[in-house]
């Protein structure tokens, strides 16, 4: 019996007389209640009800979206790839302004569709919804949205859906509404929480690999970053809950897990009985059936010698570390509130390379942070050359209202930023290509993830170091770890062939 089967059994056993106070039993009550509503609506329409969950943003959002999809499926919706559905939910990102703009654009399309299909439900959740200005804009210009909630109460999805459904059962303008129910958009935004609700349905994208949240929130308050304001302060899951989840995933056939947190290296500090991230990794490695372990994101200031030692001796931790640099200038790093300088970062990289020589290092770099001079930028270029990243996510600084950096003087002119960005990208690609080329001709293990989208005669998989490889194969290989000879390097990916 799988993870969702166990949960479904508990949902079916739930009494619908009154909603329980305890979680997750309270959510089981609302899932069961919504399931009956969806079933009746499906019978009325003479067809299944369809739902679409749209994920924007980071791996944390991707994992949250799997939970949202799991609840929708358990309630009775059939998931679809089309936004022309009966229920559409956007799990939003707000790290950069263009992420917000994408949501506003999609809402315009959904408004047109909903006018023709008034029974349709539209929900918005995630980081963007934690911004007060966004809520005001939704109220003023997008009143057709049915449900809005944030990052702290995703576990309440079914309960909030029940409120939306309750509105439908009351005639418009009816003078008497049930307690807690009002006409119009349902909005439930929490500013903070210490709650972590376990054992809710999840619909995983892959059968053979899964993200696993080990913590939520962030305490770092980098001056450019909106995340601590929209995801709240750090709170770690209990190690026994994490290990129990991974053990169940292994029983369900998962062979690779990705441990997720805004800063995994500070895991455990908020627990009653503190435990380090390195200690947690050592326990995960003992779980039978799990063959690969990944994690992200690591903050350089908290990456310990203990963790480096665990990575060095591990046979399961993948040979890939994402270690955000953001800037190579110690002066800019201080303005960013990163709590390390250029020399400390390079010393850390040296330690890591010594312990794990075959490790692939990737990073994040921001270009055009307020006050960045050409000298500061050259410091960044120097680090890129010294480290030799296998890949880098390079970003032009995006001003986020509500962060200290947004109020800083000396914003860098757009043309200067664009020139620096182009030079940085060229240097990153040059170094990455050289490192990738060195793997050509070698035989590496690959976890096959899917049929190639462009050529169905090929399958696509991922090396331990996170490089992508395409090679001849069929769907029988999906979810298996196989040996592949890397024949041709194409910069950030390879073409290969199955090794004997």
Q: Residue 468, by phi and psi: left (phi above 0), alpha (psi -120 to 50) or beta?
A: beta
Phi, psi of 165 (to 5 degrees): -65, -35
Query: Is the pLDDT assigned to residue 46 strictly greater than 90?
Result: yes
pLDDT band at residue 100 under the 50/70/90 scheme = confident
Please state, in angstroms and rounded to a whole number, the distance separating the CA atoms of residues 406 and 398: 9
Answer whether 224's CB lies under 8 Å from 94's CB.
no
In 3D space, the residue among 182, 179, 125 whose CA is nearest the CA of residue 152 turns out to be 125
- Tens-place pLDDT, residues 159-200: 999 999 998 765 555 544 444 445 689 999 998 888 889 999
In the predicted model, is pLDDT for residue 337 greater than 90?
Answer: yes
The pLDDT of 244-258, averaged and rounded, is 97
Instruction: State CA 195 to chain mean position distance.
Output: 19
Mean pLDDT of 304-318: 97
Half-sphere exposure of 389 (CA within 13 A, CB side): 25
Reduced to 3 states (helix: H, G, I; strand: E, B; else coil), residue 79 is strand
Q: At what angle do helices 342-355 and 305-313 cross, to 10 degrees?
A: 30
314 pLDDT more than 50: yes
pLDDT score, position 17 = 93
Closest CA to 431 of 469, 385, 465: 385
Q: Would you say residue 318 has pLDDT above 50?
A: yes
pLDDT at 129 over 60: yes
Task: Give the pLDDT confidence score for residue 470 in this predicted structure.
Answer: 98
How far is Cα 169 from Cα 465, in angstroms, rounded to an integer? 53
What is the residue-averaged pLDDT of the chain?
93
Q: Are the beta carbons of 216 and 235 closer than 8 angstroms?
A: yes
Least confident of 141-150, 292-301, 341-350, 432-441: 432-441
Helix ranges (DSSP H) in 252-389: 277-285, 305-313, 330-336, 342-355, 374-387
Least confident of 34-48, 191-205, 436-450, 483-497: 191-205
Domains of the chain: 3-188 (3.40.50.12160), 206-318 (3.30.750.210), 324-438 (3.30.750.200), 443-498 (2.40.50.140)
Stretch 73-100: mean pLDDT: 92
**Residue 99: its pLDDT value, please?**
80
How far the first Cα of the chain sits from its last, in Å, is 36
Residues 469 and 493 sit within 8 Å (Cβ to Cβ): yes
| Residue 208 near residue 459 (C-beta atoms within 8 A) | no
Put simply, whether the predicted model's pTM sits higher than 0.95 gets the answer: no
Helix residue ranges, H only, 198-341? 227-231, 239-251, 277-285, 305-313, 330-336
DSSP state of 478: T
- Three-state secondary-structure class, residue 355: helix
How far is Cα 241 from Cα 234, in angstroms, rounded to an integer? 17
User: Across-strand partners of 92?
Assistant: 126
Task: Report d(CA 121, CA 26) in Å as an integer.
Answer: 23
DSSP classification of residue 476: G
Res 183: pLDDT:
65
For range 124-141, the mean pLDDT: 94
Residue 277 confidence (pLDDT): 98
Averaged pLDDT, 390-396: 95
* Confidence bin at 306 (pLDDT 50/70/90): very high
What pLDDT, on a 0 to 100 scale, did the predictor assign at position 1? 54
Higher pLDDT, 3 or 102: 102
Q: Which residues sit opposite 186 in a β-bridge?
A: 147
Q: What pLDDT is stored for residue 172 in this prediction? A: 57
Asked if residue 214 has pLDDT above 60, the reply is yes
């Amino acid at each position: 019996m799988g993870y969702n089967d166990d949960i479904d059994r508990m949902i079916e056993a739930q009494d619908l007389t009154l909603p329980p106070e305890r979680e997750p039993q309270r959510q089981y009550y609302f899932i069961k209640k919504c399931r009956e509503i969806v079933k009746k609506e499906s019978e009325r329409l003479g067809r299944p009800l369809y739902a679409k969950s749209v994920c924007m943003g980071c791996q944390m959002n991707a994992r949250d979206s799997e939970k949202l999809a799991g609840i929708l499926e358990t309630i009775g919706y059939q998931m679809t790839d089309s936004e022309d559905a009966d229920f559409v939910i956007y799990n939003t990102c707000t790290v950069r302004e263009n992420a917000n703009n994408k949501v506003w654009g999609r809402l315009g399309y959904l408004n047109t569709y909903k006018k023709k299909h008034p029974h349709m439900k539209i929900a918005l959740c995630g980081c963007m919804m934690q911004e007060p200005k966004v809520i005001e804009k939704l109220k003023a210009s997008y009143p057709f949205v049915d449900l809005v909630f944030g990052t702290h109460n995703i576990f309440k999805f079914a309960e909030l859906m029940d409120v939306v459904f309750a509105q439908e059962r009351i005639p418009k303008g009816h003078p008497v509404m049930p307690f807690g129910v009002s006409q119009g958009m349902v909005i439930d935004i929490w500013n903070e929480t210490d709650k972590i609700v376990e054992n809710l349905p999840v619909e995983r994208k892959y059968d053979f690999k899964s993200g696993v949240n080990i913590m939520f929130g962030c305490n770092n308050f980098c001056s450019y970053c909106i995340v601590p304001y929209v995801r709240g302060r750090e709170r770690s899951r209990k190690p026994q809950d994490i290990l129990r989840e991974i053990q169940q995933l292994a029983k369900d056939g998962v062979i690779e897990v990705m441990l997720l947190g805004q800063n995994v290296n500070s895991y455990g500090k908020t627990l009653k009985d503190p435990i380090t991230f390195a200690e947690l990794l050592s326990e995960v490695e003992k779980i039978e059936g799990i063959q690969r372990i990944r994690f992200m994101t690591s903050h350089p200031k908290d990456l310990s010698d203990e963790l480096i030692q665990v990575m060095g001796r591990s046979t399961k931790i993948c040979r890939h570390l994402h270690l955000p640099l953001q800037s190579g200038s110690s002066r800019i790093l201080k303005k960013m509130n990163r709590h390390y300088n250029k020399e400390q970062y390079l010393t850390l990289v040296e330690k890591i390379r010594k312990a794990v020589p075959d490790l692939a290092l990737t990073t994040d770099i921001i270009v055009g942070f307020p006050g960045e001079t050409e000298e500061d930028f050259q410091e960044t270029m120097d680090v890129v050359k010294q480290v030799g990243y296998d890949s880098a996510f390079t970003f032009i600084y995006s001003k986020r209202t509500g962060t200290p950096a947004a109020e800083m003087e000396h914003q860098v002119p757009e043309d200067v930023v664009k020139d620096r960005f182009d030079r940085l990208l060229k240097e990153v690609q040059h170094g990455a290509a050289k490192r990738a080329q060195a793997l050509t001709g070698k035989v590496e293990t690959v976890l096959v993830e899917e049929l190639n989208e462009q050529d169905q005669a090929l399958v696509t998989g991922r090396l331990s170091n996170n490089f992508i490889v395409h090679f001849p194969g069929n769907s029988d290989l999906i979810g298996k770890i196989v040996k592949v000879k890397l024949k041709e390097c194409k910069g950030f990916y390879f073409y290969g062939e199955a090794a004997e």
